[in-house]
Homo-oligomer: A and B are copies of this chain.
């Protein structure tokens, strides 16, 4: 949603592929319990290239989605992706979460996924989303938490590489530890009946599809994506970085394990 997200979630071909992989492997874990009634008006804020939108829209085929993003380029890719998936219940629109071009109370439900982590002002974004939500309407927010990552075998260099990603996101005004903060953020924004549940990804070699789709193509790929920034900013030296990445791949071998946790929160206006 934010301009900053372009720097962390870039738009290269590999990046687009990564976001696609991420959605594919995580869709059930994140979205299996989200279904909107027929006829309901749902705002998806910060849809990016539509990686989550296809699952949302497919899971609630009788609801109507308005999916907005700040980036025209991302919206164009989202349009292509939705067309390929045969989703006809989504309207794409360019908009800023902090200045939404919608009347008060114009949506029955609001959905926001992997967006708050990039914002310098999550409470401001939640206030904006609450404004366009009708009374008794629901909000659903999903975020990761990079501090929830660990693996076996774990090394100091692998930990350092992940810390670099967290520091870069912090310098861009974001908070990659936001998953654990979802409950207090939603409660402080005035939503009621707030419920947050962890959605943990655990991967070992008995789950070879997840080794590829999550450990390698989602998480390690995301960390690898900030190599240039980490080195340019002097957060780490090249030898430490390269060993850290190699060590993360080591944890994807037959005797390795890999853990990460997403958080999903819901509340009512």
Contacts and interface: CB of A to CB of B under 8 A. Distances in A.
A130 interface: no
Contacts of A202: 196-198, 263
A200 interface: yes
Interface stretch (A3-11, A36-44, A113-121, A253-261): A253-261
Interface residues of A, number: 31
Given A150-B148, A154-B147, A206-B194, A261 B180 contact: no
Interface string A47-68: 0000000000000000000000
Contact of A196 (B187, B194, B200, B204): B204
Given A196-B204, A198-B202, A206-B195, A255 B184 contact: yes
A184 B147 contact: no
Interface in A189-205: 194-198, 200, 202, 204-205
A206 to B, nearest CB: 6
Interface string A120-164: 000000000000000000000000010110111010000000000
Given A196-B204, A198-B200, A202-B197, A184 B259 contact: no
A154 B180 CA distance: 10
Contacts of A198: 200, 202, 259
Given A198-B202, A206-B194, A206-B195, A259 B150 contact: no
A244 to B, nearest CB: 17
A177 interface: yes
Contact of A257 (B180, B188, B195, B255): B180
Contact of A188 (B150, B197, B204, B255): B255
A14 interface: no
